[in-house]
Structure 1
């Protein structure tokens, strides 16, 4: 429930505004002066909007707007006053007010304005988080979470941010392990430096070493230029190794040396290269189980597992669903140009009852699809056909069974098994046209015979064109045809 701060020195106006705010589904907080309002903002976390009177003793509304800008409070402010002069309106808007009312105000008008302001506030928060993610300044304040289950992972992340200790983030796919890694970097001394993410499970086994550590020109077939590798791209910054348990054994050895010595050996290089990189690893399987089964090196496991952080799945922190859905709606509605601003209580109840095997990633995609499907400003249960079909049957969903992939059941990371490692591709032997079956060179006459036969077939028997392309005269061509017994083929 959103918190709305009402600032007015008139007790009657405060009581009336509180009733309107509460009836609209928000939690009202009251301050009778500007000084009291600023104190409440500092003491009460999560205030989402403010209804502000301009005329107050000691610290008036304009002074409050100036203080909000000075202290960098990015909350929408709706101004209410008995003064209707144009200069007052312009001054308030210049100081950051999002809307302006002249008393008395109709309750419906306040409700609509609050909802619009909160939608803009959510969108602005989402945009700020995206800008911070791209600039390397993403912090824990940008992570959307109110669940007590996330208190410990976030607390551990903040402690890890103040150190260079190796961090291992464990959790199911889609729980936000990369966001936590970005917050650790953006809160620490490497904020604003490169953040390079690598999905170790998505790299072909024969290219892992080159992609991580780089190579020099000519190190192998196809290496036409030097490549720095992900370690050197992340120099002075952070390297995020996602699904680190999928690394091949031979690469694990080199990774262990890079972590211990702070240097890497590019493929084909004559000497190692020093790098200054903080490595944060992540896995959706228990790395301890992989090490016990012999799939992952024990010495590398102990090197990575210095500061483990477990991120719980979404089904264990359902308190986060409403805030996540609100943020996704604001973002996707803006991106797709859809007039969707909220979710109905029935639809939210449906989402809260789902176990979300794909975690936040699945929720995000479900909301994206719902925003595109929606016919009303508030998302309805019918806008989530896959979830509705899973809970109440396909008949009630009123759609053809969806073809999109939906995980059947949640799989905890303790129960997740290692994926079978594919064998390295066996190169296909292509016979050399100049060698016989024993590997010896063919006689020149036989090679010439095959070449002339191919040239005739390639040029559809046009002998003048065959002679021209072979660089010989037509008389020479016909003589060779007789010598090799090919004259009958072109007769």
Structure 2
């Protein structure tokens, strides 16, 4: 359950052999016929998790590709392959950053071991890099785990905000990742690497809020045994992140307004104000305008904070992120808990997670995957490893158990907003998102749909699900490639224009929206 594997080889036969071997392992592939094509894909396809690289190619050899990757900071693991396995060649490749070295022809068993180890390393390195960047204040938007269009819009706003010192208010439900976005804004601006100080305003006792935020002098009140500089001074030169700012008391709101307006703070017991230079980012899970109308939040402070608002959508509004987040958390927790045998998650379990609304958002999903990794006794997470999500699912489908066989009906019912009927729903294409859905066995008039309509919808779904990789589509549908292309022609499904291609320059996906529209149309 990782990102696609990039196979780089100028020999089309070798490229196809590697693709078939990688697909049999359950991974997705992208193909490139040379070094230049590979570098272009690595620049534009950030989700690539591994590169299998041929060293001898006419346009640009593998050594040059490795050098360019190192120069640009591309940290994707690379397995190099060549027909010449001399010691000098191996040493050179390893010094340039290759993870492993294999000699052609490589056995499927040897390739599988190398790929599995490289993917584990890549997942760990990615998580370690995010943790390090977060600690150093250098986390950027590239470190965020997301694929959804709503989050792309958020990131575009974040880039614009990062280019200035404008006060930012991040709005969103609890657990959507407001602090992570704030760190990415700092790491992408001029204050990169400077202090990032977080204050949870909802957890500060009212009688200590002023001291915690603005500091106090020694002996200024009972218990003040030493001087405390306060969070504003700690953040001097960097960023102050006020989480749940709507929970501050009215008295503290007055003093916060002065600090924001004047750029100075008055410590408790201090003789003179202290000037501070901070980037202020606030966050709230409440509607501040409603609090202003009800008199719970100062209007003048609201307009000081609400200069550049960014609204983070809840996870249920960006379900496309669920698969990538699940894979990310799975790789992380499997490594942390020493459960390397867990290789992925079953399609039914992933569909169950995609059908759930996640009121606790990303934080809840993270905890659910952590719990599932601990419970898992096999090599894949299954529906049974998510007992709490199963319990919630029973509210949608109260009759019968929630397991791998019943999840398709659950997802269908979730999509339609009704309890699913087991005798009329079979797996297909009425999508909850781009990746989860059911094929309706009954049409709008209550009649059974024809096999031809169901077959067409299934083919469209398979093309969308496997990103237009026709070899994998045919294999998963259990038909030959020639049969598949004949059916594409019969049903008028476009296999050109970058939708369903196996070209060596990578799997084009420019027609994805057309495929999605076709799926939705066929479902009706």
Q: Is it true that 1:231 corresponds to 2:232 in the alignment? A: yes
Distance 2:168 2:373 in 1: 37
Q: Is it true that 1:380 corresponds to 2:405 in the alignment? A: no
Q: How does 1:451-490 map to 2 (within 5 A)?
A: none
Distance 1:394 1:97 in 2: 53
Deviations 1:34-73 (A, max 9, x none): 2332233334443222111122234322222222222221
Give the structure 2 partner of residue 29 of structure 1: 30
C-alpha RMSD over aligned residues:
2.0
Distance 1:105 1:380 in 2: 33
Distance 1:193 1:154 in 2: 21
Give the structure 2 partner of residue 248 of structure 1: 249
Deviations 1:205-246 (A, max 9, x none): 111111101111121111111110110111111110001001
Give the structure 1 partner of residue 362 of structure 2: 360
Number of residue-to-residue matches in the alignment: 398
Which is further off, 3-12 or 123-132?
3-12
Query: Where does structure 1 lack aligned partners over 5 or more consecutive residues?
Result: 399-491
Q: How does 1:43-62 map to 2 (within 5 A)?
A: 43-62=44-63
Give the structure 2 partner of residue 137 of structure 1: 138
Aligned-pair distance for 1:396?
A: 4.3
Aligned-pair distance for 1:122?
A: 2.1
Structure 1 333/46 Cα, relative in aligned 2: closer, same or farther at 3 Å? closer
Give the structure 2 partner of residue 332 of structure 1: 333
Q: Is it true that 1:186 corresponds to 2:184 in the alignment? A: no
Distance 2:344 2:62 in 1: 30
Q: Is the 8 A contact 1:123 1:327 kept in 2?
A: no
Aligned-pair distance for 1:338?
A: 1.9
SS at match of 1:104: coil
Give the structure 2 partner of residue 350 of structure 1: 352
TM-score (norm 2): 0.73
Structure 1 230/88 Cα, relative in aligned 2: closer, same or farther at 3 Å? same
Give the structure 2 partner of residue 296 of structure 1: 297
Distance 1:108 1:355 in 2: 40
Give the structure 1 partner of residue 220 of structure 2: 219
SS at match of 1:52: strand
Q: Is it true that 1:341 corresponds to 2:352 in the alignment? A: no
Distance 1:29 1:334 in 2: 26
SS at match of 2:51: strand
Q: Is the 8 A contact 2:8 2:53 kept in 1?
A: yes
Aligned-pair distance for 1:137?
A: 0.6
Q: Is the 8 A contact 2:292 2:298 kept in 1?
A: yes
Q: Is the 8 A contact 1:186 1:192 kept in 2?
A: yes
Q: How does 1:426-465 map to 2 (within 5 A)?
A: none
SS at match of 1:220: coil
Q: Is the 8 A contact 1:119 1:341 kept in 2?
A: no
Aligned-pair distance for 1:112?
A: 4.6
Q: How does 1:416-427 map to 2 (within 5 A)?
A: none
Deviations 1:285-333 (A, max 9, x none): 0111111111101110011000000000001111111111111122222
Which is further off, 346-355 or 334-343?
334-343
Structure number with bigger Rg: 1
Distance 1:117 1:22 in 2: 16
Structure 1 366/323 Cα, relative in aligned 2: closer, same or farther at 3 Å? same
Distance 2:327 2:73 in 1: 23
TM-score (norm 1): 0.77
